[in-house]
Amino acid sequence: MEKEIKLTDGVVLLRPYGSGDVERLYQAARESITEMSPWMPWCHADYSIEESRAWLELRAEAWEKGTEYEF
């Protein structure tokens, strides 16, 4: 379920993650592996698009349960 919440000041837009964010999340993680991997074990050399998809699915489930609200 896609959330309709959007917060903006006209310059910056905050919105919940959606299923359409898989590729962007994957690319951002891949571009940041060198910088992030020392501190973020999930951001490793073999990071896959399937991991991005699974993470986004977990975010959606947590939102539906009312346990996490990530933007």
Identify whether 2 is part of a domain.
no
Q: In terms of DSSP H, where are the helices of the chain?
A: 22-31, 33-36, 49-65
Burial letters for 32-49: b for 16+ Cβ neighbours within 10 Å, e otherwise? eeeebeeeeeebeeebee
Domain that holds residue 58: 14-65
Identify whether 7 is part of a domain.
no
Identify whether 8 is part of a domain.
no
pLDDT in tens, 30-50: 999 999 999 999 999 999 999
Identify whether 19 is part of a domain.
yes
Identify whether 57 is part of a domain.
yes
| Residue 31 burial (CB count, 10 A) | 10
Query: 4 or 25: whose pLDDT is higher?
Result: 25
pTM: 0.83
Q: How many CA atoms lie within 13 A of 8 on its CB side?
A: 8
Bridge partners (DSSP) listed for residue 14: 7
Q: Count up the domains in the chain and report the number.
A: 1
